[in-house]
Structure 1
Amino acid sequence: MIKALNSYQRIQSLDFLRGIAILGILLINIESFSYPNPWSPSAFGFEGEIDRTTRFFVYWLGQGKFFFMLTVLFGVGFCLFLDRAQEKQGQDAYALYLKRLFWLFVIGVVHAYLIWDGDILYHYAICGVILLLFQSFSKKGMVAVIGVLVAVLMFNNYQRTSDRAESLADYYEIKNTVAEDRSAAQQRRVDYWEGRLKKKSPDSDDIEVPRQTYMQSIQTNYEKVEVHKGVVYHKSILYSTLIMMLVGVLLFRSGIFQDYKVVPHYWLMTLAVTAAALAINYFRYDHWTYHYEQPVTQIWQGWLFAFPRETLGLAYVLLFNGLYQKFGGGRVSQLISNVGRMALTNYIMQSIICGLIFYGYGLGFYNQLSRFELLPIVLAIVLLQILFSWIWLKRNAMGPIEFVWRKMIYGGR
């Protein structure tokens, strides 16, 4: 039977938040197992209007939000671990923290190569090392760093939107010329934009079920994951990940996870952030689902769509934290908290289950289910993980992978 390795009392709201995030992230991750191109609003998994509506609600309320909830909570865990390690280990706390991240990186790489190429753990580990650089920063210093990173991403969005608008204007200008007078580069631009501006029909082509054997799955992962080539983080989300981890540090230092009442007008702030985030995400994913053929060429729109996932992820943290402290402690919240206590185990468990459902070495349901038909699968996995976590934690102090992770960090201690 696994024993606890420390005597510190857990912050119950954090377990609850992790549970919400881990169960919620399955809504999006399952699509990567189900379809060859899950991000396309016109390809695969659409059998009718109910599927487009399902996709809209899943993306409006779920896409990226639970990932960034976990990212905020990683920043919280960063502070919590260092504070407790310094109290017990003194100067060894930083070495212990780096050891913790090293083994998280290893677990993530193993997960990526042997189970699912979409792993995020090794990316978190690298960002956790970078986060250490800001450990001694004051709150104002961290806010300044966040401001710089936000400004960089806003500038990048401005640049992309401007380039897109310029390219579209060139297309309309070239379109007015005689086809025989166009250069090869101009014709490529015309071909690109004519395809881009065209409303597409759902793709119902038969797709061969991939990864017919487990060895084929490993080979596919090897081709997609590039850690062995030195690509040890996901560069497209590096800055946004660091921003949300730093936000997590600031939230932890504010004390809201112990008692949200330390922040004046907490509920007013939370409801305002949630309402604004829901509105931004509504416009973002309405455009992505129903008007995807219309390119974003307005600077204001590009900026509005810069941080939809991050803002709603933050709103979820604030909202569920307050709800747990105000109404939590019952049977349902405890069951979700159990999932959060085993967040690492449940995250990898989701990948194993989805692989067995959709890949060729399992049941082979790849590209066989519509977006709406995925929902019962998600619900079944959620209930399974709630049940598994409850049964496991009745006899053990932590999840099996959490135990292995701690064993690698602390050895025999």
Structure 2
Amino acid sequence: MISQTLSSVDLAGMEPKFNLQPVAQATRIQTIDILRGVALLGILLMNIPAFGLTEASVQELIRGPHGGNYWLKTLIYILFENKMRALFSMLFGAGIILFLAKSRTGSGMAAPELFIRRQLWLIVFGLINALVLLWHYDILFDYGIVGIFLFPFKRLSAKALVLCAVVVGLIYSGKYYWDFAEQKQKYEKYQKVVAFEKKLKAVKPANKKVKLTDDQKEDKETWEGMVKSKKYDKKADKATILAMRSDYVTVWNHLLPQIQRMEAPFFYQFGLWDMVSMMLLGMALFKWGFFSNKLTTSQYALLAVGGLLIGQTMAWLSLPSHELKIIDYSKFISTSILPLDDVLMPFERAFSGIGWASLILLLYRSGIAQWLWKGLSAVGQMAFTNYLMQSVLCTLFFYGYGLGYYGDLKFYQLYFVVAEIWLIQLVFSVAWLQFFRFGPLEWLWRSLTYGERQPMRLTQPATPKTSILA
């Protein structure tokens, strides 16, 4: 087994102790950095369509003829959709335990207080990513909030954390089923109005216009408006492309409603439960030594096969539900017993995330492609910088105040951009860490959290000296 550097962590009792200062290079867990790097690069596979194409045009791949772009999208949906973000969330949960395992600083500041400051600054960076860099699917803001609620859970045992994760996952599924049931009620009300109209026309065929009550009109208009909003609107699609190819202010005004919807109502209704379940699971996995390469090879092999087999089977089973919802929403509501893709999502992601992580750790143990693990470790060590770098590179490439390629590329061409960004981030991360302790934004985040300017260059002394916050 490849030896680990974090010898001060007792993974059996899982109450590790540290002096409260930023993690030094010598005490990092390389496998966590590698997995974080894989998850970070993998997230771009799902994010790139939202950067470069309208949601309506991507959905048209499902409604239209099933060519190469459709099969590429389907492959990504089954293998990676939400799975990489699930793994990223699990690792964030593991990071909560790592941070809170520290005792206190020389100034006497307790770890929970520093952790709250760390999360509050993450919320600020998330708002910058969403409202300044204009990435409307930002997760930093959400992670900042969720982390504050989760830090008391570090005292729970691994089994208790898994139980909590399952309960929260069931809440997520239940909320989507509740929403589905409400839509079903609206559809049934609409059907009653349609049946009433047909009955009156059959009795009095001369009456071309049937008079409805206000409630009946509302029931009919509500459903028809909802169905219309889910159909492809070529005019609206062109308007979106035109807005996204415009100047910064126009793009900002166009994206603001979506940013507000994602960071507020969607987060509190659904996103919160999704992230909490994965982070709790990540905390449990860390306590079992999963992320730090402590399991046996046979255990990782079993988890890789079992996790991917179960997770990918769930993804395949949920695909028809996912596509029918886009192709014919009325048929989806009227014929489905439950929204299978939404109900299975937290469990599909959990099994697949564990499966992918186990497979990566098995490959890492094999000792092959050491240059690749070094690159992925560097990307993971600078995940905060690289996540925001993806926002900068993609918005400048696609949006109108940059190169203006929004809506201009075919679906498959987006992944040439992904490959280029991966190469840039791998090379940049490795080169940067040859001279510096942290990524540039990791350094800023740590300095703001600790209230002291952290040493940046590898040749600098490790003890922070200069206070930058009163």
Q: TM-score range by the shorter chain?
A: 0.7 to 0.9
Matching residue of 2:295: 261
Instruction: Determine if contact 1:25/1:67 at 8 Å carries over to the other structure.
Output: yes
Matching residue of 1:332: 372
Q: What secondary structure, in the 3-state scheme, does the structure 1 residue paired with 2:352 have?
A: helix
- Per-residue CA deviation, residues 154-176 of structure 1 (Å, 9 max, x unaligned), is 33233233334444445445444
The 3 A distance-change label for structure 1 pair 109 and 317 is: same
> Is residue 75 from structure 1 mapped to residue 115 from structure 2 by the alignment?
no
Per mean C-alpha deviation after superposition, the further-off stretch among 171-180 and 378-387 is 171-180
Per mean C-alpha deviation after superposition, the further-off stretch among 48-57 and 8-17 is 48-57
> Is residue 295 from structure 1 mapped to residue 332 from structure 2 by the alignment?
yes
Q: Could you tell me which amino acid in structure 2 is paired with residue 160 of structure 1? A: D
The 3 A distance-change label for structure 1 pair 325 and 257 is: farther
Give the deviation of 1:211 after TM superposition.
Answer: 5.8
Q: Could you tell me which amino acid in structure 2 is paired with residue 132 of structure 1? A: F
Q: Could you tell me which amino acid in structure 2 is paired with residue 254 of structure 1? A: W
The counterpart of 1:16, out of the listed 34, 37, 45, is 34
Matching residue of 2:280: 246
Instruction: Determine if contact 1:254/1:262 at 8 Å carries over to the other structure.
Output: no
Larger radius of gyration: 2
Q: Could you tell me which amino acid in structure 2 is paired with residue 370 of structure 1? A: K
Instruction: Determine if contact 2:274/2:346 at 8 Å carries over to the other structure.
Output: no
Q: What secondary structure, in the 3-state scheme, does the structure 2 residue paired with 1:86 have?
A: coil
- Per-residue CA deviation, residues 184-220 of structure 1 (Å, 9 max, x unaligned), is 134325635865898x698896331426223444555
CA distance in 2, matches of 1:334, 1:172: 60
The 3 A distance-change label for structure 1 pair 186 and 5 is: closer
The counterpart of 1:125, out of the listed 114, 132, 144, is 144
- Per-residue CA deviation, residues 121-179 of structure 1 (Å, 9 max, x unaligned), is 12101111001121222334323422432332233233233334444445445444435
> Is residue 345 from structure 1 mapped to residue 385 from structure 2 by the alignment?
yes
- Per-residue CA deviation, residues 268-289 of structure 1 (Å, 9 max, x unaligned), is 2331121111011123234434
Q: What secondary structure, in the 3-state scheme, does the structure 2 residue paired with 1:382 have?
A: helix
Give the deviation of 1:87 after TM superposition.
Answer: 7.2
Matching residue of 1:102: 120
Q: What secondary structure, in the 3-state scheme, does the structure 1 residue paired with 2:136 have?
A: coil
> Is residue 276 from structure 1 mapped to residue 310 from structure 2 by the alignment?
yes
TM alignment of 1:374-393, pairs within 5 A: 374-393=414-433
Instruction: Determine if contact 1:68/1:313 at 8 Å carries over to the other structure.
Output: yes
Instruction: Determine if contact 1:211/1:360 at 8 Å carries over to the other structure.
Output: yes
Q: Which structure has the higher relative contact order (CA within 8 Å, separation 6+)?
A: 1
CA distance in 2, matches of 1:171, 1:181: 15
TM alignment of 1:1-400, pairs within 5 A: 6=24, 8-37=26-55, 41-42=59-60, 49-83=67-101, 85-86=102-103, 92-115=110-133, 116-178=135-197, 180=210, 182=212, 183-188=216-221, 191=224, 195=228, 206=238, 207-210=241-244, 212-220=246-254, 224-226=258-260, 231=264, 234-235=267-268, 236-261=270-295, 265-289=299-323, 292=326, 293=328, 294-295=331-332, 297-299=336-338, 301=340, 303-305=343-345, 307-327=347-367, 330-400=370-440
Matching residue of 2:12: none
The 3 A distance-change label for structure 1 pair 232 and 177 is: closer
CA distance in 1, matches of 2:366, 2:219: 61
**Identity fraction in percent:** 27
The 3 A distance-change label for structure 1 pair 162 and 72 is: same
The 3 A distance-change label for structure 1 pair 5 and 159 is: closer
The 3 A distance-change label for structure 1 pair 319 and 181 is: farther
Instruction: Determine if contact 1:12/1:337 at 8 Å carries over to the other structure.
Output: yes
The 3 A distance-change label for structure 1 pair 163 and 311 is: farther
Q: What secondary structure, in the 3-state scheme, does the structure 2 residue paired with 1:285 have?
A: helix
Q: Could you tell me which amino acid in structure 1 is paired with residue 60 of structure 2? A: S
CA distance in 2, matches of 1:407, 1:190: 52
CA distance in 2, matches of 1:349, 1:8: 26
- Per-residue CA deviation, residues 215-237 of structure 1 (Å, 9 max, x unaligned), is 4445556555449xx94992221
- Per-residue CA deviation, residues 301-353 of structure 1 (Å, 9 max, x unaligned), is 36335643344233323332333234467111211111111111111111111
Give the deviation of 1:72 after TM superposition.
Answer: 0.3
Give the deviation of 1:26 after TM superposition.
Answer: 0.8
Instruction: Determine if contact 1:171/1:193 at 8 Å carries over to the other structure.
Output: no
The 3 A distance-change label for structure 1 pair 191 and 105 is: closer
CA distance in 2, matches of 1:81, 1:329: 31
- Per-residue CA deviation, residues 17-58 of structure 1 (Å, 9 max, x unaligned), is 111111111112122221232696227998961221122112
The 3 A distance-change label for structure 1 pair 22 and 91 is: same
Q: Could you tell me which amino acid in structure 2 is paired with residue 86 of structure 1? A: S
Instruction: Determine if contact 2:304/2:357 at 8 Å carries over to the other structure.
Output: no
Give the deviation of 1:391 after TM superposition.
Answer: 1.7
CA distance in 2, matches of 1:203, 1:371: 20
Aligned-residue CA RMSD (Å): 3.4
Give the deviation of 1:245 after TM superposition.
Answer: 0.6
CA distance in 2, matches of 1:122, 1:190: 33
Q: What secondary structure, in the 3-state scheme, does the structure 1 residue paired with 2:400 have?
A: coil
Instruction: Determine if contact 2:125/2:141 at 8 Å carries over to the other structure.
Output: yes
